[in-house]
């Protein structure tokens, strides 16, 4: 990439994952196996900052997912502690539909000063529009935004039609649909999710699989103002993701909106 690009834009990474250093390598390898994608990074905070600094990232949305209810408390404490250490982090907590104390989980997230909730239906093995999940949305609607993994050709847990149903039932819920609304299901996502109110999208784990022309079309269909840049670290290199993003051919003003401005407005920064 042309070195002149670095420093040209303010950049926020609106989708990244961190883990305690002692399990970061194991967790990263596990994610790679799940998606059958080679992983070149280890997902702990210092590595994230080191990787993002190569393209000038100034802020990061950091999160992790509780694959069982008993993990929720430890993950939320970890994310909150890392946010205290690193002022560039904006943490999203997590919960699980099978939690015995969903109200307590959400109150914990709020009391810790975390900025939202992250769910991954495919990892957590629940339908995104199930009654159990709806209980979470009831608790956070109007209080916390939701970052939710969307799409996987192997499963139906987080398919675009389920994401649409969340929006229909919780129209005031700020919903951030990851991976352009449907990893490996971009055609369905484009047809199903375009034009929905109060739904935003990140481009993470999408640009490596789509032609620049198709990715640009989807972003325009959703609305430039509704899309965020994200790396899905440790899945991808920040440098590669920025290169792919800049190939979409948007104007400098549009690039800046997606790279930072839209996210800042979303979180009220």
Q: What is the pLDDT of residues 175-230, one digit of tens each?
A: 999 999 999 999 999 999 999 999 999 999 999 999 999 999 999 999 999 999 99
The boundaries of the domain holding residue 184 are 12-267
Q: CB–CB of 23/60 below 8 Å?
A: no
Distance CA 63, CA 231 (A): 12
Q: Classify residue 7: in a domain, yes or no.
A: no
Q: Is the dihedral of CA 107, 67, 45, 227 positive or negative?
A: negative
User: Which residue positions in the chain have pLDDT lower than 70?
Assistant: 1-6, 22-42
Structural domain count, the chain: 1
Is residue 184 one of the residues assigned to a domain? yes
Query: Is residue 2 included in any domain, yes or no?
Result: no
Find the CATH number of the domain harbouring 197: 3.20.20.140
User: Cis peptide before 234, with omega less than 30 degrees from 0?
Assistant: yes
Domain-located, residue 4: no
Does residue 127 lie within any of the structural domains? yes
pLDDT for the residue numbered 73 = 96
**5 within domain boundaries:** no
Q: What pLDDT does 23 receive? A: 58
């Amino acid at each position: 990439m042309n070195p002149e690009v670095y420093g040209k834009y303010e950049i926020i990474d609106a989708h990244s994952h961190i883990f305690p250093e002692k399990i970061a390598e194991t967790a990263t390898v596990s994610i790679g196996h799940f998606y059958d994608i080679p992983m070149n990074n280890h997902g702990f905070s210092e590595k994230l900052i080191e990787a993002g600094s190569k393209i000038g990232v100034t802020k990061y949305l950091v999160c992790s997912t509780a694959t069982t209810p008993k993990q929720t408390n430890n993950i939320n404490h970890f994310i909150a502690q890392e946010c205290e250490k690193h002022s560039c982090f904006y943490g999203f907590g997590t919960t699980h539909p099978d939690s015995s104390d969903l109200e307590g989980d959400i109150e914990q997230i709020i009391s810790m000063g975390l900025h939202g909730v992250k769910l991954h239906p495919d990892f957590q093995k629940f339908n995104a529009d199930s009654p159990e999940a709806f209980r979470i949305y009831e608790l956070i609607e109007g209080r916390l935004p939701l970052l939710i993994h969307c799409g996987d050709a192997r499963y139906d847990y987080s398919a675009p039609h389920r994401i649409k149903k969340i929006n229909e039932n919780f129209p005031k819920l700020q919903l951030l649909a990851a991976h352009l609304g449907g990893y490996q299901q971009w055609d369905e996502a484009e047809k199903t999710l375009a034009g929905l109110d109060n739904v935003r999208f990140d481009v993470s784990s999408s640009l490596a699989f789509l032609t620049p022309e198709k990715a640009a079309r989807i972003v325009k269909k959703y609305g430039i103002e509704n899309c965020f840049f994200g790396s899905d670290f440790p899945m991808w290199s920040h440098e590669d993701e920025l290169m792919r993003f800049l190939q979409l051919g948007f104007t400098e003003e549009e690039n800046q909106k997606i790279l930072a401005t839209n996210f800042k407005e979303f979180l009220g920064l």
